[in-house]
Amino acid sequence: MNDTQGDANDSLILERDGGVATIINNNAPMNSFTLEYFDALEHALAELRDDPTLRAIVFTSAGNRNFSVGMDLKQLVSGTGRSGGFDAVLDQRMRVLATIENMHVPTIATMFGYCLGGGLELPLACHFRLCASEGARIGLPELELGTVPAWGGTARLTRTVGRSHALDMILRARKIDGRRALEIGLVQELHPPELLRAAATELARELAAMPPASVRGVLDCVVGHGDASLEEALAAERRAVAACAGTNDLREGMTAFIEKRRPVFTGD
């Protein structure tokens, strides 16, 4: 069943198809991240986080030209006028991206056209990044503005591609294409631009069919404890295994393996 919240005048459109949610930044053609979008995004994520039927989230943007050029710089003045000043705006960005990174379901970003500044930092917070095979321009060019990435880009890019590639991209303000992004491990897949969103939806449905308790366990182990000590990481894995014990999904998985058929997981 398809369900859409929002309209053409909204900064964010939320679509639901069963357990898959699609969040659309509705600010074409550049799809800069406005204050209104992040307010709506924080609200949407708070609701989705508590939804037991949610299985995966796709992040994309309106139109077919750009994922996002990052923060709407025209809103710098209005941002500093908010309660708490510009620090409050940055705090919200960091808080929202941390929520995306630590969701209990897989998060997927579609990357096409310009993916710059915050337009790369949001995908870096996602668990999967699918990129257009042509036309993508990906980077953290903040040094060209006399500043540094401010939404966790230095940390997440380094953890994703390694220090050498991160320094090369950030210090030289390099904008790479999809093929280079795949080479250095920044994205997992390339797809023709016209098929990118469909590929992300297909991946979301694939992940949504997996046993939810197992998915939560893997995300906690890999994302939540991937940088922990070996002892802490192994303890997290043991807890994840225990959480799956006795579930109907575990029994279904074992039975399907013995019967040589595809399992049908229900989340029980």
Per-residue pLDDT at 82:
73
pLDDT digits (tens, 9 = 90+) for 67-110: 999 998 888 777 667 767 888 999 999 999 999 999 999 999 99
What is the domain partition of the chain in residue ranges?
Answer: 2-208, 212-258
- pLDDT at residue 33 greater than cutoff 90: yes
Contacts of the segment 184-188: beta carbons below 8 A, 24+ positions apart:
185/160, 185/161, 186/129, 186/138, 186/157, 186/160, 186/161, 187/111, 187/129, 187/130, 187/131, 188/128, 188/129, 188/130
Query: Which two tokens mark 37?
Result: 């979008």
Let me know if 232 is a catalytic residue: no
Question: In a 10 Å sphere around its CB, with 0-12 CB exposed, 13-18 middle and 19+ buried, how is residue 261 labelled?
Answer: exposed
- pLDDT at residue 1 greater than cutoff 80: no
* CA angle, residues 86, 87, 93, in degrees to nearest 5: 95
- pLDDT at residue 166 greater than cutoff 90: yes
CA atoms within 13 A on the CB side of 267: 11
Nearest to 128 by CA among 103, 147, 145: 103
Query: pTM value?
Result: 0.93
Question: Lowest mean pLDDT: which of 1-15, 158-172, 208-222, 234-248?
Answer: 1-15
Q: Under CATH, domain 2-208 is a member of which superfamily?
A: 2-enoyl-CoA Hydratase; Chain A, domain 1 (3.90.226.10)
**Active-site hit among 47, 101, 142, 206:** 142
Let me know if 121 is a catalytic residue: yes
122 pLDDT band, cuts 50/70/90, is very high
**Active-site hit among 36, 42, 121, 206:** 121
The torsion angles phi and psi of 200, rounded to 5 degrees, stand at -65, -40
Buried b (16+ CB within 10 A) or exposed e, 7-16: eeeebbbbbb
